[in-house]
Amino acid sequence: MADYKTRYRNATFSKEKIELDGKYFENCQFKDCLIIVETGETDLRGSSFLNCKLLLRGNAYTIGKIIKLFTGKSPLKVLDFDEPLFEEGPSGTSS
């Protein structure tokens, strides 16, 4: 296992922007988050994702394009940057 300086165990993330690169996650829960991956240098063990969006950048984006070439279809939904990350509540706040 790589020596990750930032480690999370049994953590819950909700409506956050989380960059996975360089971090270790064990038994974590992600709900309504924007998950960002650029290098793929991360370790996810026993973690779950509920209604999250994935943003691929750099090398991860290139690998996503290669997968599309091999399969003929995109393995992931592309996030439209005009699309709000979180739903607006009645008072204009995130719900």
Which residues on adjacent β-strands are paired with residue 26? 9, 45
pTM of the model: 0.74
Domain membership flag for residue 20: yes
| 41 occurs within a structural domain | yes
Cβ pair 79, 86 in contact under 8 A = no
Residue-level pLDDT at 37 = 94
What share of the chain in percent tops pLDDT 70?
A: 76
Instruction: Tell me if 94 is assigned to some domain.
Output: no
Question: Would you say residue 30 lies in a domain?
Answer: yes
As for how many domains the chain has, the answer is: 1
- Mean pLDDT calculated for residue range 17-36: 97
> Which of 74, 26, 25 lies closest to 54 in space, CA to CA?
74
Whether 13 is in a domain gets the answer yes
The pLDDT score that the predictor gives to residue 19 is 96
Using the predicted structure, report yes or no on whether residue 95 has a pLDDT greater than 50: no
Cα(53)–Cα(71) distance, rounded to whole angstroms? 21
Within a domain: 44: yes
Question: What range defines the domain where residue 19 resides?
Answer: 6-71
Establish if 90 belongs to a structural domain.
no
The whole-number pLDDT of residue 13 equals 98
pLDDT at 91: 53
Lowest-pLDDT range of 7-11, 37-41, 88-92: 88-92
| 51 vs 64: CA distance, rounded Å | 20
**Angle formed at CA 41 by CA 38 and CA 47, multiple of 5 degrees:** 100
Tell me, yes or no, whether 83 lies in a domain: no
**Six token digits for residue 57:** 């950048």
